[in-house]
Structure 1
Amino acid sequence: MGNGNGVLSGAVIAVAGAGGPAGRATMRRLAEAGATVVGSDNNPERLAEAVEAARSAGGGAGITGEKVDLLDLASARDWADRIEKDFGRCDGLVHLVGGWRGSKGFAETDPGDWDLLERLLVRTVQHTSLAFFDALRRSDRGRYVLISAAGASRPTAGNAAYGAAKAAAEAWTLAMADAFRKEGGEQGPTSAAAILVVKALVHDAMRAERPNAKFAGFTDVTDLAEAVAGVWDRPAAEVNGNRLWLTEKP
């Protein structure tokens, strides 16, 4: 684990959708590597629990949380501005906001599922990327990290809304990456937008609930956290605009 002397030492990183198991693991890992971490979630109780769990698991006092409405662009911008004002910089935004709706087959798809997933999986990405772009551009190690799913590249019949929303979020993130590329000119980008692709996530509580399940191809949240931290270990030009696969490529 990090000792605070590495590339993340002194970094300030925001984690959106930090209230779930992936948020806990990611906040803890980034803090262990020396970063100051500010998590957000739309559920204050869940966020407080996640921050407390990440702190007591080894992340320490470098982890804080605040309720932010990421469906509101002004709220997202205020959050980004506060972080820069409070800490003097912002070096990353990890986007973990999730959600899923599916159906038995394609014909049974409920268009209402799209309405929900478009807000959760697309709108929040639009708002965090726009809100944090300037701060990340100013950082010497700015990273925007989207957690996506293999279903964006190969959607299944019952996951039309989910796959389409994930694909839209990826396209938006790749446009941000192109902006970083253009800014960098001939020297190449100094900041990056990258996509980590999983099949699905698994954590200890899921395994306890379903002891006989194999969870084949799933990514453990601790491995995801390791991969998130690893995005800062690689040069911006190497990760910018790339899908980094943590599961088998379809």
Structure 2
Amino acid sequence: MAQGNGALSGAVIAVAGAAGPAGRAALVRLAEAGATVIGSDANAEGLAEAVDAARYAHGGATVVGDTVDLLDAAAAREWAGRVEKDFGRVDGLVHLVGGWRGGAGFAETDLADWDLLEKLLIRTVQHTSLAFFDALKRSDRGRYLLISAAGASKPTAGNAAYSASKAAAEAWTLAMADGFRKAGGEDGPRSAAAILVVKALVHDAMRAERPNAKFAGFTDVKELAEAIAGVWERPAAEVNGNRLWLTEKP
């Protein structure tokens, strides 16, 4: 059953990229914490499965799905407006839209990978942050959370496009954080934008496929979901504009 007295009790949290393994774990954990959770994904079938699983895990929790193309700026804004209209407020946007492409080395980099990753990892951040900024600023506990990778701070030769995309998304999120800082004035920010940094993510299906793999330094999606929920337990001024490391700093 949902918990009723924590920092997320009664909060309204939107989750972008909710159909993937990390999104599914986040829906479950946020619902468990007492939040109303609105998941979005371009994959309607996967989103429906994720929403059903979260509802089943926590009877009585409000978990809904909204199929949204976050590459469409207008659609993202419509989604943000719909969430606030339907639920009266928005207290969080968790950005879990992901993707990866890489190569054998720097010279072998295919710029078609950049074209794809720029859309998945940068455009969706731009569209969701711009769409939700004002609503999150109005909240007394607004949080925008980007999930990033350690490679953004220490790129490898074969991951130029991926690392550069993540680094751009981080810079964009930190600019949003400065917007919250300025809006808070002398009292400090009431809302926050922060970055959760992992090496890579692992989930049960990956372990089943590769039972002998160590996945050293990887963060389990359930651990990530726990860290996401924990951000609301900390004051906005403490997390705003910061990278919260869930793996060793490179």
Q: Which TM-score band applies after superposition, normalised by the shorter structure?
A: over 0.9
With the length of structure 1 as denominator, give the TM-score of the two structures.
0.98
CA distance in 2, matches of 1:221, 1:56: 19
Structure 2 counterpart of 1:133, which letter? F
Q: Distance in 2 between matches of 1:141 and 1:73?
A: 25
- TM-fit CA distance, 1:57: 2.4
Tell whether the 8 Å contact from 1:102 to 1:109 is kept in structure 2 after alignment: yes
- Please list, as runs of the form range in 1=range in 2, the aligned pairs for 1:153-192 lying within 5 A after superposition: 153-192=153-192
Tell me if the contact between 1:27 and 1:59 (Cα under 8 Å) persists in the aligned partners.
no
Q: How does 1:88-237 map to 2 (within 5 A)?
A: 88-237=88-237
| C-alpha distance after superposition, 1:121-149 (max 9, x if no partner) | 00000000000000000000000000000
Q: Map Cα deviations across residues 8-64 of structure 1 (whole Å, 9 max, x no partner).
A: 111000000000111111011011111000000001011111111222223654111
Paired residue type of 2:178: D
Q: Is the 8 A contact 2:202 2:219 kept in 1?
A: yes
Q: In 2, are the aligned partners of 1:31 and 1:60 still within 8 Å (CA)?
A: no
* 2:78 aligned residue: 78
Contact 1:92 1:144 in 2 (8 A): yes
Give CA-to-partner distance per residue, 1:46-88, whole Å, 9 cap, x none: 1111111222223654111010010011000000000110000
Corresponding residue pairs, total: 250
Describe the shift of the 1:33–1:98 C-alpha distance in structure 2 as closer, same or farther (beyond 3 A).
Answer: same
Structure 2 unaligned spans of 5+: none
Matched position secondary structure for 1:244: strand
* Alpha-carbon contact 2:2-2:60 (below 8 Å) kept: no
**Whole-Å Cα distance in 2 between the matches of residues 241 and 72 of structure 1?**
26
Q: Is the Cα contact below 8 Å between 1:32 and 1:59 reproduced in 2?
A: no
- 1:20 matched residue in structure 2: 20
Cα distance between partner residues in 2 of 1:218 and 1:144? 23
My pick for the range that moved more, 59-68 or 125-134, is 59-68
Task: Name the counterpart of 2:32.
Answer: 32
1:102 counterpart SS class: coil
Q: Give distance in 2, aligned partners of 1:248 and 1:81.
A: 38
Aligned to 1:52: 52
Q: Root-mean-square deviation (CA), in Å?
A: 1.1
- Percent of pairs identical after alignment? 82
2:141–2:232: 8 Å Cα contact kept in structure 1?
yes
**Hey, what's the Cα distance between the residues in 2 that align with 1:206 and 1:59?**
28
Q: Which amino acid in structure 1 is aligned with residue 67 of structure 2?
A: K
Q: Deviations over 1:73-132 (max 9, x none)?
A: 100000000011000000000000000000011110001100000000000000000000
d(CA) in 1 for partners of 2:53, 2:98:
20
CA distance in 2, matches of 1:241, 1:157: 28
* Consecutive unaligned residues in structure 1, runs of 5 or more: none
Deviation at 1:3, TM superposition (A): 1.6
Go from structure 1 to structure 2 and tell me whether the alpha carbon gap of 1:32 and 1:59 turns closer, same or farther (over 3 Å shift). Answer: farther
Relative to structure 1, the CA distance from residue 155 to residue 2 in structure 2 (aligned partners, 3 Å threshold; closer, same or farther) is farther
